[in-house]
């Protein structure tokens, strides 16, 4: 079996945002009283923020808004995969101006339900890695 010198490589912030922008589905991770929650959402990238839509009054909104959250997306092909994790703060959009800006992101609703509430995650940091698939290194 061949041995890969660098099976995992660290991505730059630009690469991370480019990969995020091409991913249709991500996962919001929140923590309430020490208990983690995960919510799959479809999303858009706009000016290096993560934007998604949800219904008002949901558990998602309650656990995410004004708190530090994680947002993860990943993807894979035959021989490699990647994952990007944004750590940031989530905020509901309320003013006409901020909602108008969010509308320009062309965010496609994930499900055919009413989701009239925009949430934007502003990043504190973004990290990403690319993985090479394959067998374990020789000798391991």
> What is the binding site for a copy of itself (CB under 8 A)?
3-4, 7-8, 24-25, 27, 29-31, 33-38, 40, 68-70, 72, 74, 76, 81, 83, 85, 108-116, 131-137, 140
Map residue 86 onto helix, strand or coil.
strand
Give 35 or 96: the residue with its C-beta nearer to a copy of itself: 35
Q: Tell me which DSSP letter residue 66 carries.
A: T
Q: Nearest approach, Cβ of 81 to a copy of itself (angstroms)?
A: 7
Q: Nearest approach, Cβ of 136 to a copy of itself (angstroms)?
A: 5
Give 47 or 68: the residue with its C-beta nearer to a copy of itself: 68
List Cα–Cα distances, 103 to 94, 114, 120, 127, 138, in angstroms.
Answer: 12, 15, 12, 27, 52
CB half-sphere exposure, 24, CA atoms < 13 A: 4
Q: Nearest approach, Cβ of 98 to a copy of itself (angstroms)?
A: 20
Instruction: Decide if 54 contacts 103 (C-beta within 8 A).
Output: no
Give 89 or 131: the residue with its C-beta nearer to a copy of itself: 131
């Amino acid at each position: 079996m061949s041995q890969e010198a660098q099976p995992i490589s660290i991505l730059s912030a630009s690469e991370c945002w480019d990969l995020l922008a091409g991913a249709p589905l991500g996962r919001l991770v929140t923590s309430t009283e020490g208990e983690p929650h995960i919510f799959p959402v479809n999303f858009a990238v706009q000016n290096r923020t993560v934007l998604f839509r949800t219904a008002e009054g949901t558990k998602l909104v309650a656990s995410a808004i004004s708190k530090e959250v994680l947002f993860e997306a990943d993807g894979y092909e035959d021989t490699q995969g990647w994952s990007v994790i944004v750590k940031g703060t989530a905020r509901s959009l309320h003013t006409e101006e901020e909602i108008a800006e969010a509308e320009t992101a062309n965010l496609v609703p994930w499900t055919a339900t009413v989701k009239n509430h925009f949430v934007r995650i502003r990043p504190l940091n973004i990290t990403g890695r690319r993985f090479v698939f394959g067998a374990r290194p020789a000798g391991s």
